[in-house]
Structure formats: structure tokens, C-alpha cells
């Protein structure tokens, strides 16, 4: 019996039992759809975080206070006070550096911000003049915070794009006065929208104003340093590291009270974490594929029982074991491949809905689709083999006697 005839007959059998066929496919549809949707969700999360990190700039070094030593790249300690404004000033004025272009300092905290009865608890970032350039933040309208604003401890602010709507509705914020922790600040400008890169709900004020007037501190949350070229990142990291060790009177890099991170360091860590997360999600979803395969095997076993007389007649007419096995395998594969096709469509649709709802980039992974589809075919072979073997081993006389 030719393979084409076997395929046509298998399709006819599946069509004659539409409800059973649909229920058999359901497990595969759910399994394939889950695998694609969860892998997409994991990769979309990974892509979102990568975009935020890459928006910092490829030549950027981030220096933060830290406590647990691993050389210059270490576990940073939030709330540390080991970095000061003097560190950033000395770094920017030093003639020792051959690899550094610009330096900016930041101290951030949270405070209540209000305007005409609308108020919210927001992130307040005290910054120096090079901060926007180093963090790739562009101005939408108005002007940036200048060195003069820091020297005079001016009470001025630049607001993130999101606050233009939430605080000011349809008004033009430029020149308006907002109250931060009860003190009035005049709005100089509005930063462009950053989206998933963050910062749209941040109020930027001069660093000295934040330290002296708002939070009453002298230390920094971060120092940002740009290397002159991406190829000089490692050298710049070492120069900055040893410069700060000398300023802090620390002899060994293992005892450093600060951490230096580059974009590459952060991306590597994030990729490891999100990669593990995505693999875990895919593993959980794959369990439903196995369950779907077991469901198909059970249905095929029932089919063998129902078609015992038919199998006996075929064997009595000279049908070989190979032909019987092939037909039942084809039926199982058709079930899983059809379910896989529907599952791919469902998975893509669910992926798009989820990523849009969570404001994540939609990243449909072609390898995950190919893998899921291939796995569904293999499941058809694996879980269809036992029923096919059972059918092929039936004795013609016993099969014909079966009622």
C-alpha cells in the first residue's frame, strides 16, 4: 500500500471522529502554545532589560558604593556612603587619566512632589551638568541643569516626560513651580520620553541642591564616567579603580569600598539570569507537551480496540505488519502536527497579547517555533509507536472474532 494511500486513509479516519480528534489535539495545542508564549515572554523580558542597559551608552562606567569585595567589579551595597562629591570632582579635574572623557555625579532618593493639588511620591535625582549626555537623555523642551545651577544651589528642575501629563495635564510645565518636599522648584525643561529605558517619572535637580537642601547628605549614589572609546573600557576601569583606591587610602583592590560596572558586565549578568528564567519557563511548558503526548497514546490505544475487526480483516487479506504500523504512526503524527500548527498560531497570538499588555517588546523566536513543531512530530512518533505495535501484533483470527 502506497504511503499516499495510507495518508489519505488516515485523514479519512481522523475526519470520521472529529470530536475525538479535536480532544486528542487539544493537549498538543496547549503544550505548543505554552512553550512559544512562555519562551517569548522570557525573551521579551530579557530584551526589555537589555534595551534599558544599552540606553546607558556603550562607553559608560558606573561607579557605586559597595562592601563585598570582588576586585573592582563587586556586589554593590545600596545605601553605601563611600562615594562623595569630592571623588567625582577630583576625577573630573585630574590630569592622570588618558582614557576618560566626561564625569557626572548623582544622588537619588524619593520625595513627595506636588503641583496644584496633584501629588505623588517620585524619584528625585540630584545631578551634575554632564549627567544627561552620559545617560543618553535628550531634552524635549526647555533647558538642562547647568554647572551654574549647582554652584548657586538653585532650586530648579527638569522633569521626565511622563510627569508632563500626570502632574500638569495639558499645561505647559516650563516656568511653572512644583513643590518638592514642601520647597518650591521652578521647572526648566522636560526630558524626552525614554519608554522602557526608565526615567520618565523622575525629577532632576542640581546635585548640590539635592544634597544640601533636600536630603542633607554629602555622599553619592553613583558616579558616571565615559571612556573616550569603547576599546579603552578595560583600561579606563583600571585607571578609575586605582585612582579611587588611592583617594580612599585602600591598598588592595580586594578591599575596595566601591564597585565599577560597565554595560558589558551588567548585560552578562542579566543574560545569565533571564536565560535561566526563560529555560525554566520553557521546561514548565514542555511538561504539558508530554501530557498531550500521553493523551494521544491513550486515544490511539482506544482506536486500536475499536478497529480490531478492521485490523483483522486487513491482516487476513495480506496486509503486512509494516503497513499496519505505518498507518497508525501516520495518524498519530497527523494529530500532533495538526495540533502543533494550531498551537503555533495560538502561541504567537497569546505572545503578542501578553507583550502588548505588559509593554514589552514582541520577540517571536523562530527557533522556538521550529523546536516546538519538531518536538510535536517526535511526540507523535514516540507515543504513537506503542499503539501501532500493538495493532500490528494482533492475530487475524482473534481480531476477526472480536466483538
Please tell me the predicted confidence (pLDDT) of residue 397.
65
Q: How far is residue 258's CA from residue 99's CA, in Å, rounded to a whole number?
A: 20
Q: pLDDT tens digits for the chain (403 residues)? A: 577 777 777 778 777 778 877 877 887 888 888 888 888 888 887 777 777 766 666 688 999 997 544 445 444 444 478 899 999 999 999 888 889 999 999 999 999 999 988 899 999 999 999 999 888 889 999 999 999 999 999 999 999 998 988 888 878 999 999 999 989 999 999 999 876 556 688 999 999 999 999 999 999 999 999 988 878 888 999 999 999 999 999 988 888 889 998 877 777 777 777 777 777 777 776 777 777 777 777 777 777 777 677 777 777 777 777 888 887 788 888 888 888 888 889 989 998 998 888 878 887 878 778 877 787 778 777 877 877 787 777 776 665 555 5
Give 78-136 as a 3 state SS string: CCCCCCEHHHHHHHHHCCCCCCEEEEEEEEEEEEEEEECCEEEEEEEEEECCCHHHHCC
**What is residue 198's DSSP assignment?**
S
Please tell me the predicted confidence (pLDDT) of residue 8.
79
Query: How many CB atoms lie under 10 A from the CB of residue 84?
Result: 19
- Rounded to whole angstroms, the maximal C-alpha distance in the chain is 103
Amino acid at each position: 500500500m502506497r504511503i499516499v494511500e495510507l495518508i489519505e486513509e488516515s485523514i479519512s479516519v481522523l475526519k470520521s471522529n472529529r470530536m475525538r480528534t479535536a480532544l486528542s489535539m487539544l493537549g498538543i495545542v496547549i503544550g505548543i502554545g505554552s512553550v512559544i508564549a512562555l519562551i517569548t515572554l522570557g525573551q521579551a523580558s530579557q530584551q526589555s532589560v537589555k534595551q534599558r542597559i544599552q540606553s546607558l551608552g556603550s562607553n559608560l562606567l558606573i561607579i557605586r558604593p559597595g562592601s563585598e569585595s570582588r576586585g573592582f567589579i563587586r556586589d554593590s551595597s545600596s545605601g553605601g556612603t563611600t562615594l562623595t562629591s569630592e571623588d567625582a570632582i577630583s576625577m573630573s579635574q585630574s590630569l592622570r587619566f588618558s582614557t576618560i572623557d566626561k564625569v557626572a555625579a548623582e544622588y537619588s532618593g524619593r520625595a513627595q512632589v506636588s503641583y496644584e493639588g496633584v501629588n505623588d511620591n517620585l524619584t528625585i535625582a540630584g545631578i551634575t551638568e554632564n549627567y544627561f549626555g552620559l545617560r543618553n537623555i535628550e531634552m524635549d523642551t526647555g533647558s538642562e541643569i547647568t554647572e551654574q545651577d549647582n554652584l548657586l544651589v538653585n532650586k530648579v528642575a527638569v522633569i521626565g516626560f511622563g510627569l508632563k501629563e500626570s502632574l500638569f495635564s495639558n499645561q505647559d510645565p516650563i516656568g511653572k513651580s512644583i513643590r518638592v518636599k514642601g520647597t518650591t522648584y521652578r521647572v526648566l525643561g522636560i526630558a524626552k520620553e525614554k519608554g522602557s529605558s526608565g526615567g520618565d517619572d523622575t525629577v532632576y535637580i542640581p546635585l548640590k541642591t539635592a544634597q544640601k537642601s533636600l536630603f542633607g547628605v554629602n555622599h553619592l549614589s553613583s558616579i558616571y564616567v565615559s571612556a573616550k572609546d569603547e576599546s579603552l573600557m578595560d583600561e579606563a576601569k583600571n585607571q578609575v579603580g586605582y585612582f579611587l583606591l588611592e583617594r580612599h587610602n585602600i591598598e588592595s583592590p580586594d578591599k575596595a569600598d566601591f564597585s565599577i560596572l560597565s554595560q558589558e558586565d551588567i548585560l552578562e549578568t542579566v543574560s545569565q539570569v533571564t536565560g535561566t528564567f526563560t529555560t525554566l519557563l520553557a521546561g514548565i511548558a514542555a511538561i504539558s507537551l508530554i501530557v498531550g503526548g500521553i493523551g494521544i497514546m491513550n486515544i490511539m490505544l482506544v482506536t486500536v480496540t475499536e478497529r480490531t475487526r478492521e485490523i483483522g480483516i486487513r491482516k487476513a487479506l495480506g496486509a503486512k505488519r509494516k503497513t499496519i504500523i505505518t498507518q497508525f504512526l501516520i495518524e498519530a503524527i497527523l494529530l500532533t502536527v495538526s495540533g502543533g500548527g494550531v498551537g503555533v498560531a495560538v502561541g504567537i497570538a497569546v505572545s503578542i497579547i501578553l507583550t502588548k499588555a505588559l509593554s514589552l517588546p514582541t520577540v517571536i523566536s523562530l527557533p522556538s517555533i521550529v523546536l516546538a513543531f519538531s518536538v510535536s512530530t517526535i511526540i507523535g512518533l514516540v507515543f504513537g509507536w506503542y499503539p501501532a505495535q500493538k495493532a500490528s501484533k494482533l492475530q487475524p483470527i482473534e481480531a476477526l472474532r472480536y466483538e
